[in-house]
Chain A
Amino acid sequence: MSHREHVEELLNAIRRSKLNAFITVDYEGARQQAEGADAGELDGRLAGIPIAIKDAISTKGLRTTCASKMLEHYVPPYDAFVVKKLREEGAVIIGKTNMDEFSMGTSTETSFFGPSKNPWDLERVPGGSSGGSAAAVAAQETDLALGSDTGGSIRCPASFCGVVGLKPTYGRVSRNGLVSYGNSMEQIGPIARTVEACAALFEVIAGYDPWDSTSRDAPVPQYVAKLRDEIAGLKVGVPRDFFGEGVDPVVENATWEAIAVLESLGVHAKETSMPNLKYALSAYYVQAMSEASSNLARYSGIIYGHRVQKNHDWHTTFSENRASGFGNEVKRRILLGTYALSAGYYDKYYLKARKARALISRDFQRVFKQFDVLIAPTMPYAAFKIGEKIEDPLSLYKVDINTVPINLANVPSLSVPCGRKGHLPIGMQIIGDQFNEQLLFNIAFQFEQNTNNRHAV
C-alpha cells in the first residue's frame, strides 16, 4: 500500500469516527505530504508515517486551540521544536487531537469542542488530558501521536485506551512551542500501539533545544537499536504506596501478574515504600495551579485569542475576555493558583508544596540507589463513565494519585497495557531514574513480546 492510500484510509476512519478524537484534521496537508513520501521527496526515520499531534503543541499554519474557546481561531506563526523534528524526519501530520482545555483534566471532558470517547466503550472517557491522541492511536485513526504530560496526561489516556505512552525525563524533550500550563513539570511525549514504535518516535523528538532554557544537553541514545538488550538480573522495586485505598483489586492483580511475568524473564522484584508520596497529590495541584495562574495571565485577548466586542476599559475588557474565553476548570485552577501565591497564603500552600516536592524527589533518589526501575499501576482503575466525576472537581483530581509523583520528581515513566477489566484496558507504569528511558523500553518490550495485551479495537 502506498503512503497516500494508507493516509486516505486513516482520513476515512476519522471522518466516520464516533470518538471526537480530533479538533482539526489537515486533509489536504496530509495528502500532499503522503504524496511527497511516495514520490521519494521525504526521507528520514519517519518518512511517510502518519502522526496526530495534541492540540497544545504549535503547528505553523495549522490551527492550535488547546481545546479552548480562548484560542478557537489561533493559527501559530511557528512550529514547536518537536514538530520541526517530525517534519525533518518526513512524518505526515494528519491533524490536531482533542484534549482537556489547556491540558487541565483527566478525562478530555473539559474540551470546548466536547468530550472524546473511549474506543473500547463509547460511554466512557478516554482519559486525559491527551485523550484524543490516545483514542486515535488505539482506534487506528493514526499510527503515532504526540501528547503532553504535566501530571499524567500521556500515561492516563494510554492506560485507559490500551496503548503505550511515555512521560520523558524533565528536560529531555524541548517544550518550545508547547502551550504552557505547569511548566516545571510538563513534557511532550510519544504515544503508539507498540513499544518499538513509541521508542522510535521518542528517538526523533528527544534532544537539546537552545530555545527551551530547561532543555538538557545530553546525548540521545539509539533506543530502538538497543531495544532487545537483556533484562534478566534487573532489580524492580514495587512501592506499596501506589497500591493505596481506591485502587481497584482487578488493577492490583493485573499489576502483580505482570510483575510475575517479568520475574519469569529473570528480573528480581521486591516491595518497597516511599512514605512521602502521601503528599504528592496536594503538592502537585498547588504547584500546577500556581504555575497555571502565572502562565495563563498572557491570555488577555489583545495580541491573540478571544475578545469580546464591547468598548470597555482595560480591566473590564480583560476580565470579560477571560470570563467568556475560559471554561470552568481553567478558571478554577487560575483562581486557586492566584490564591495559593497571594500574600499571606504563599507559605501555607506554595512553599509547602515545594518542600513536599523536594521530599518526594528524595524518596525517588533513595529507591533508585536500590532498584533499576519501579513498577506500579498507572491508574487506580479502568476508564470511568463520561459525566461520572465532572461535577466534583476534587474527585477528578484524585484520579491522578499514581501519576503525579513522577512529574514532581522529574523522572520518566512508561505506561504499557498489562491486562483488562472486562473489555476495558488496564495499564502499568514502569518508572526509571532520570535519563534512563532505555531501561523502560527494554522491560516493556520484553513484557509485550511475552504477553498478549495488545488488541486492535
Chain B
Amino acid sequence: MITKTDVEQIARLACIDLNEEDMQAFTMQFNAILEYFEALEDIEAELTEQEEDNVLRADEVTPSLTQQNALANAPKVENGYFRGPRIL
C-alpha cells in the first residue's frame, strides 16, 4: 500500500512538482498498478546470461556541434553560456 506521503516523497526525488489533486489521483492509480505488479513476486530465476551486449567503438575525436547550434534550443543564454537558475 502506497500513501499520499509516499507519492509526495517520490515526486520530490523525481523533481516533479505535484498539486494536491494530482497527488490524490496518482496515489489511487499507483496502488491499483502496483497491486497488478505483485504478479512478479513468485518469480524465481537466476540471471545468468548477459542479455544485452554493448558494442563499443573507438573513442576518436570528431567535429561536434558548434557553440551556436548547441545553444540554439536553450531557453536562457548569456554570453555564450546556458543560464541556469540561481543557486540560493
Contacts and interface: CB of A to CB of B under 8 A. Distances in A.
A353 B26 contact: no
Interface in A322-350: 322-323, 326, 328, 331-332, 334-336, 338-339, 342, 348-349
Contacts of B48: 358
Nearest to A278: B39
Count class of interface residues, chain B: 35 or more
B41 to A, nearest CB: 7
Nearest to A280: B39
A335 B17 CA distance: 11
Contacts of A334: 14, 16
Contacts of B37: 282, 285-286, 349
A331 B74 contact: no
Contacts of B70: 77
B45 A355 contact: yes
A214 B55 contact: yes
Interface in B43-80: 43-49, 51-52, 54-57, 65, 69-70, 72-76
Contact of A338 (B13, B45, B56, B85): B13
A394 B17 contact: no
A216 interface: yes
B20 interface: no
B1 interface: no
Interface residues of A: mostly helix, strand, loop or mixed? Answer: helix
A336 B30 contact: yes
Count class of interface residues, chain A: 35 or more
A302 interface: yes
Interface string A187-220: 0000000000000000000000011011111000
B2 to A, nearest CB: 8
Interface of B: 2, 6-7, 10-18, 22, 26, 29-30, 32-34, 36-37, 39-41, 43-49, 51-52, 54-57, 65, 69-70, 72-76, 82, 84-88
Given A286-B37, A335-B10, A358-B45, 13 more contacts: A281-B36, A282-B37, A297-B15, A302-B74, A302-B85, A304-B75, A313-B86, A318-B85, A319-B15, A332-B30, A336-B34, A355-B43, A361-B51
19 contacts: A77-B70, A77-B72, A278-B39, A302-B75, A303-B74, A304-B74, A311-B86, A312-B85, A314-B85, A319-B12, A331-B26, A332-B29, A335-B14, A336-B30, A355-B47, A358-B45, A361-B51, A393-B33, A397-B36
